[in-house]
Structure 1
Amino acid sequence: MSENTGTEPGTEPGTDPGTEPGTDPGCEPGPEPAIPRGAGAAADLTVVVPAYNEEHRLRPTLEAIRAHLRADPERWGDWELIVVDDGSTDGTAAVAAEAAAAEPRIHILTSAGNRGKGHALRLGVLASYGRRVLVTDADLATPIEELDALDELLTYGDGDGDGDCDGDGDCDTYEGEGATYDGDTYEGHDDTYDDMYDDAPAPAAVIGSRALPDSRIDIHQRPLRERLGRLGNRLIRLVAVRGIRDTQCGFKLFDGDKARAAFAASRLDGWGIDVEILRHFRRAGWPVAEVPVRWSHQSGSKVRPADYGRVLLELLRLRTRTRPVDLAVAGLFLLASVLLYRGLWADLDRAYLADSMQDQNQWEWFFAVTADNVAHLRNPLFTTYQGYPDGVNLMANTVMLGLSVPLTPVTLLFGPTVTWALVLTLGLTATAVAWYWLFVRWVTRLRPAAALGAALAAFAPPMMSHGTAHPNFLVLFMIPVIIDRALRLRAPGAGGRRLVRDGVLLGLFAAYQIFLGEEPLLLAAMGTLIFALSYALARPDVARVALRPLLRGLGVALAVCLPLVAFPLYWQFFGPQSYHSVLHGDNAGNSPLAFLEFSGRALLGDETRADPLAMNRTEQNAFYGWPLTALTFGLVVWLGRSPLVKALTGTVLLAALLSLGQQIRIPFTDVVLPGPWRALAHQPLFESVIESRVAMICAPALGVLIALAVARIADLEPLTHRVVGLVVVVAALLPIVPTPQPVRERAEVPRFITEGMYRDFVAEGESVVPVPLPSPADADALHWQSATGFGFSVPGGYFNGPWGEERMGIYGAAPRYTSNLLRDVRYGGRIPDIGTSWRAQAKLDLAFWKAGVVVLAPQDNDEALYEVMTELLGRPGERMGGAWVWDMPRAR
């Protein structure tokens, strides 16, 4: 996923996807270059010297640099020397002014105050005009003569054109005798490379190193200080820039244009600037060489061992710092999420999401039972509180252990409804922020464009449909993170330690996502594969380069992920109460009309039009609306030359086609065509997928397309074109803006349960039998348990479990005669003739359920249910705690 605003669609191979030359992802542009007095329009070399209170050391430094550059005018050509006075309080400015008066090629920049080395270097480099830029410290601890070696090396590459000068696939570090390129040694500082390197790419930066074998330390620091410095440097290398042995040596020669780009994108003002610039070069795919130099400790040095710690703190702040606009976008996403669920938050005790059917009861039960298992150190993969006595394989159900386990304290302290509301609200926010972060990193750095695309990816109609009942399909914040890590594997330069690191992280992220939701991960993998194949067709050259590191990285990821999830997956597929598939019928696909219609909860939606086109309101998996569909077609025509847009188009079309299911019914006709989902419908893993959900893949793909389009529109001229373009995009998205989720008042838990009266009737090993038994159609009894702390088990329930000898997956417990009878009476109201066989069967079923007490709470058709239970048990019930109860004999 690589597209950058302001560039032609489809970056050339060898550039870092999502990274334009001269920028660093996530960094604010730096200040505009200041033009030093007397500077020409161009120079062959610029030397930048930052200085703070260097009155006594600056003069000999400037004289040495000036003498060295003037001694060989043919080599150095037109040069300039920029001194940046970083708010000195001594005579530094006067010394610099005196030198500038004697040499017109010396220029002075003055900072308003002491801002730090990073700020001073940024001012100096951005004011430079040199084709090459050397930065050196004011004490000239590395003699200026070492410039010769750095300059010579900056001219040559490694001979194979791969930009990986040491073969490790990480930072391009040159090591050994003088320096080595792929094993070929450059002997000494004054020699030249063989002709074999004439056509090799040159490094973009050459840095002096005190850590290479042939480095020479003329004057050492005190031993303790030197050891502390080495330790600090190792920590910096470990945390920030692996592969470069000495990041903090102040003697560095850069390609001028790339240096100005990197410093313009930098943000640090302190000592950490060296690491920040090197990281920028690495991310941009610009080779960095490291060569040995002479170095001498200078008395009065301002660098202390503790400064290495400050560098680490700066880097930590750099990694965690966000722009104000990023915080604003996250805040807007949070506000939108809160508004969507405001009805739920307004009354957590009684509010129930109206469109969730029985899923809110189920999910609250999942959160509560996980918390109870964790609190009592029980197996979190199994329980008998539901589906008694067989129990429930929790790993084979969507309990989201990745959230329900860490949120156990919240559930125990505040109840499962609070956990449910938090997961929906914060999970949706986190998902939107994650898509925004991914789009900024890989699609466009225009924040409003990325935010709009992320909003579509996270708040699209299918997501909002699942937001009523299925948090495992709403809370997808790990999916963008996984996609990002996969893209890093195929990025140029991925190899060696970096490839292993990214592969390990990808494996860990995938393992965690399995404990959030396996089906979303499967759909994300499908979408990513479709996108990758589509992109490979558009850019086979890029695909060939990316394939090998991608496969190697995926191998590492599998090696990390599989051991972590092996036992839970074994339990899921082969443990107690496991099943092998769930059938959803032949009509689980989308209607083609569903893509053109608005969902019932969209701003311009109509329930009467939307409901007939979906299985139910929790499965409105298309409903992108005809305006967005039309806009998508127009954008594809407009931006269709871009390989990225071609890949997105292929992804959307194929995902939409697959989502139509095994049979595609042509609207307004009797024609039924076979659908491509037939090839997958009975394959392992896919056999349990509701095929209409494949259309959810379209949401992030359309989000990327919208982000690209808005970024491109922002560059249009004149202003009227930009305004018209944005109005068109807004007009297409406005009809599908989600409206707040409606709520209803949930049924009260009988006092017989809340006041613990049931305890007098239920012995250990017995169950409470609600009438009718809890099922996917009526799971209020699960709320009885989750709201009161799981003091009893219930037969039946709302979960996925096995049925029959083939262990086919069904919703709820395996039906029995009595449970079917009570269900039919509850929803039909008709009372059958209860004879001896019905009573005998009820006795068997109650014995199987190990019933301690039968409870009939107030509900529709409760009079008919009471009459049936009285006939089945041969005695009337007792009114107690707001419910009818029948005490069951313990002797069986």
Structure 2
Amino acid sequence: MSHRLADEHAPDASTEDAPAAPARRWPGHLAVLLCYAALGYWVTSRLWVAPDTRLLADNRNDQPLMEWMFAHGGYALTHLSNPLLTDSVQVPHGANLMANSSIVLPALILAPITLAFGAATTFVLFTGLCLAGTAAAWYALFRRRLTDSALAAGLGAGLIGFAPGMISLSNAHVHITAQFLVPFIVGCVLPSPGAPRPVRRGALLGVLLTAQLLTGTEVLLFTVLGAGAFVLLWAAFVPSAARRQVRGLAIRLGVAVIVFAVLAGYPLWVLLAGPNSYHGTPWDIGIYGTDVASWPWFNAFSLLGGAAQAARVYSGNATEQTAFLGPGLLVLVAVLVWWLRRRRTVLALAATGLLFAVCSFGTEIVLMRAHTGVAGPWALVARLPLIEQAIPDRLALVTIAAFGAILTFGADRAVRTGLPRPPWLAAYAAALVPILPTALPVTHRPPIPQFFTAGSWREHVRAGHTVLAVPTSFATDRLSMRWSSGTNAAMAVPDGAVMIPGPDGKAQWGTPRSRLASTAARVSRTGRVPRVDDAERARARSDLAAGRTDCVVLDPTAPHGTAVRHTLDRLLSVHARYASGVWYWDVRPTG
């Protein structure tokens, strides 16, 4: 039995058509899910060609981070270590993974795939699953709560799972696109006339909230804000129906809070006050807002879009093109809201979508790349704890979810009222086809050297000690983490571009701060071998000791590699050796 949203002034809102026979339902379900799977594969298809040597062209830095996160999940599972914290990067201090865009739960669940096929394969698989899984989860919710039509539910859920913003964020931000738990959270919160067992639903909600916390904290924040705003707006539009729901909702939320506090208490402590926790962000939140004009625009990853077209309006970068719905979809949504205006639930959805669209403008209103100097609504809350780490342009995802539900309501009414299919399907096609996703662009990357994948590094590193990768050329260079992922995170590194607390407790990138690493990067950039004296050698030895480094390894593809090698020969007082595709220096103490 489905539980529909109560909706006064809409006589058909709670009507439940007789369920179709199972034999007639499954073909529709299967067709929708196959379409989602095909789209998920299409978006990631260029990565599937060669996961180990393909890199997302529009986010070359974050993909190695996420691959390392998957590798760490496999390591934590096989070594029964704490998956929320690690001492394998930023040695000897370690890092707080709960505070680092972690995907703890998916990494643990997918650990068998990582251990069997490698972290790069897991990353590509998960990228596609996030899109198809999110669409499938919304489809399940819409079929249960909004419509008996597979077509209506499939269209609305498909928009949410494969919206331009989701494709843009699929450039290695899988902790944001992993939204397959969100519809089930929303389903537990939504008002449900006659819904039984509020205690059980509340307990399930607490479990789902905990699971989402361990999948993506930012998505959890947006889900709570979005669901809360919708419920309040729905109550304002349908006050008498809302009053009948207060007791059940209070029970569900009360039980959910208790269950969440018990299950998520430790992860929350780690996030907020655990080892290497921090406040703030190392980037300027002010640059991450949606351009007002970006909503009717096409982004770089849509069928009618492209990088040149998207660049005409503002976005923080290519991975944050989260609005960009195109003019057709905005017009269609507006028409559907007018057509369905007697349905108060649709009005509440429209108001929720508009609210979060405005909030997504961020801390300053930008129009056609022009910074107006007018403060955006997000400026009022941007410095609050937890919220200070959220990127406001991603609030557009809440708007997209609301629009997906409106599309489903519209298609459902068209189906139930017998509206001829060609006209309304043509309208939907005109809105949705232009924003169909293209395959994510990729570029080549060298394979991880056999020195790491074959385990040769173990011969040169003592337990509890590290390997230093050189050169690391910029603040978020994750060469060492990529090489570590090739060992399933068994190899510890003294650096690693993760967020760590600075001297004042504010977040900063854990960049290589040793003089040795900086020297190697400078030589790789300039090709000039510096003069090396005893003082320089003493500093190098001090850097090695501080990072517990037993082995230094040169990237075989580094610019001016010969110059870097000659410099390190002098600095380390050890001649490099060549093995398994790399030059390395064994700097363990002798004697």
TM over 0.5: yes
Are residues 350 and 482 of structure 1, via their aligned partners in 2, closer, same or farther at CA, if it must alter by over 3 Å? same
Aligned to 2:486, the other structure's residue is in SS state: helix
Distance 1:500 1:670 in 2: 49
| One-letter identity of the residue aligned with 1:859 | T
Are residues 774 and 505 of structure 1, via their aligned partners in 2, closer, same or farther at CA, if it must alter by over 3 Å? farther
Distance 2:521 2:25 in 1: 55
Are residues 666 and 328 of structure 1, via their aligned partners in 2, closer, same or farther at CA, if it must alter by over 3 Å? closer
Distance 1:641 1:829 in 2: 68
Aligned residues: 586
Are residues 773 and 890 of structure 1, via their aligned partners in 2, closer, same or farther at CA, if it must alter by over 3 Å? farther
Larger Rg: 1
- Among 472, 484, 489, the alignment partner of 1:785 is 484
- Counterpart of 2:390 in structure 1 is 689
Aligned pair 1:519/2:218, yes or no?
A: yes
- Does structure 1 retain, via aligned residues, the 8 Å contact 2:168–2:319? yes
| One-letter identity of the residue aligned with 1:562 | A
Distance 2:352 2:484 in 1: 44
Are residues 624 and 884 of structure 1, via their aligned partners in 2, closer, same or farther at CA, if it must alter by over 3 Å? same
Are residues 868 and 620 of structure 1, via their aligned partners in 2, closer, same or farther at CA, if it must alter by over 3 Å? farther
Moved more, 416-425 or 683-692: 416-425
| One-letter identity of the residue aligned with 2:501 | P
Distance 2:588 2:50 in 1: 40
Aligned to 2:122, the other structure's residue is in SS state: helix
- Does structure 1 retain, via aligned residues, the 8 Å contact 2:59–2:319? yes
Aligned pair 1:673/2:370, yes or no?
A: no
- Counterpart of 1:325 in structure 2 is 28
| One-letter identity of the residue aligned with 1:483 | V
- Counterpart of 1:587 in structure 2 is 287
Distance 1:660 1:887 in 2: 52
Distance 2:519 2:364 in 1: 34
- Does structure 2 retain, via aligned residues, the 8 Å contact 1:657–1:676? yes
Aligned to 1:341, the other structure's residue is in SS state: helix
Are residues 535 and 854 of structure 1, via their aligned partners in 2, closer, same or farther at CA, if it must alter by over 3 Å? same
Aligned to 1:355, the other structure's residue is in SS state: coil
Are residues 669 and 399 of structure 1, via their aligned partners in 2, closer, same or farther at CA, if it must alter by over 3 Å? closer
- Does structure 2 retain, via aligned residues, the 8 Å contact 1:857–1:882? no
- Counterpart of 1:185 in structure 2 is none
Distance 2:501 2:448 in 1: 29
Moved more, 689-698 or 774-783: 774-783
- Does structure 1 retain, via aligned residues, the 8 Å contact 2:314–2:366? no
1:750-791 Cα offsets, whole Å, 9 max, x none, are 343344443343223321111124876332332322223445
Aligned pair 1:851/2:554, yes or no?
A: no
Distance 1:469 1:880 in 2: 32
Are residues 748 and 670 of structure 1, via their aligned partners in 2, closer, same or farther at CA, if it must alter by over 3 Å? closer
1:462-504 Cα offsets, whole Å, 9 max, x none, are 11122221222222111111111112xx323457xx1111111
Are residues 544 and 784 of structure 1, via their aligned partners in 2, closer, same or farther at CA, if it must alter by over 3 Å? same
Unaligned stretches of 5+ in structure 1?
Answer: 30-266, 268-317
Shift of 1:687: 0.8
Distance 1:526 1:718 in 2: 36
- Counterpart of 2:307 in structure 1 is 607
Distance 1:416 1:750 in 2: 15
- Counterpart of 2:467 in structure 1 is 768
Distance 1:690 1:823 in 2: 31
Shift of 1:373: 1.8
| One-letter identity of the residue aligned with 1:591 | D
- Does structure 1 retain, via aligned residues, the 8 Å contact 2:73–2:107? yes
Distance 2:418 2:117 in 1: 55
Are residues 595 and 825 of structure 1, via their aligned partners in 2, closer, same or farther at CA, if it must alter by over 3 Å? farther
Distance 2:113 2:25 in 1: 28
Aligned pair 1:703/2:400, yes or no?
A: no
Distance 1:858 1:814 in 2: 19
Identity %: 33
| One-letter identity of the residue aligned with 1:375 | T
Are residues 814 and 888 of structure 1, via their aligned partners in 2, closer, same or farther at CA, if it must alter by over 3 Å? closer
Are residues 816 and 733 of structure 1, via their aligned partners in 2, closer, same or farther at CA, if it must alter by over 3 Å? same
Distance 1:375 1:775 in 2: 33
- Counterpart of 2:20 in structure 1 is 28
Aligned pair 1:10/2:2, yes or no?
A: no
Distance 1:632 1:831 in 2: 60
Unaligned stretches of 5+ in structure 2?
Answer: none
Relative to the length of structure 1, the TM-score reads: 0.61
Are residues 642 and 834 of structure 1, via their aligned partners in 2, closer, same or farther at CA, if it must alter by over 3 Å? farther
Aligned to 1:405, the other structure's residue is in SS state: helix
Aligned pair 1:382/2:85, yes or no?
A: yes
Are residues 636 and 583 of structure 1, via their aligned partners in 2, closer, same or farther at CA, if it must alter by over 3 Å? farther
Aligned to 1:507, the other structure's residue is in SS state: helix
- Does structure 2 retain, via aligned residues, the 8 Å contact 1:775–1:812? no
Between Structure 1 and Structure 2, which shows a larger proportion of helix residues? 2
Are residues 28 and 578 of structure 1, via their aligned partners in 2, closer, same or farther at CA, if it must alter by over 3 Å? same
| One-letter identity of the residue aligned with 1:20 | T
- Among 794, 801, 812, the alignment partner of 2:510 is 812
Where does 1:378-527 land on structure 2 (aligned, <5 Å)?
378-487=81-190, 490-494=191-195, 498-527=197-226
Are residues 508 and 741 of structure 1, via their aligned partners in 2, closer, same or farther at CA, if it must alter by over 3 Å? same
- Does structure 2 retain, via aligned residues, the 8 Å contact 1:19–1:442? no
| One-letter identity of the residue aligned with 2:241 | V
Are residues 336 and 819 of structure 1, via their aligned partners in 2, closer, same or farther at CA, if it must alter by over 3 Å? same
Distance 2:556 2:110 in 1: 33
- Counterpart of 1:759 in structure 2 is 458
Shift of 1:19: 4.0
- Does structure 2 retain, via aligned residues, the 8 Å contact 1:18–1:442? no
Q: Say what the alpha-carbon RMSD is for the aligned residues.
A: 3.0
- Counterpart of 1:361 in structure 2 is 64
Are residues 868 and 536 of structure 1, via their aligned partners in 2, closer, same or farther at CA, if it must alter by over 3 Å? farther
Aligned to 1:664, the other structure's residue is in SS state: strand
Moved more, 550-559 or 386-395: 386-395
Are residues 414 and 752 of structure 1, via their aligned partners in 2, closer, same or farther at CA, if it must alter by over 3 Å? closer
Are residues 575 and 3 of structure 1, via their aligned partners in 2, closer, same or farther at CA, if it must alter by over 3 Å? closer
Where does 1:492-571 land on structure 2 (aligned, <5 Å)?
492-494=193-195, 498-571=197-270
Where does 1:743-758 land on structure 2 (aligned, <5 Å)?
743-758=442-457
- Among 36, 40, 43, the alignment partner of 1:337 is 40
1:813-844 Cα offsets, whole Å, 9 max, x none, are 47344444544555x53759656666554443
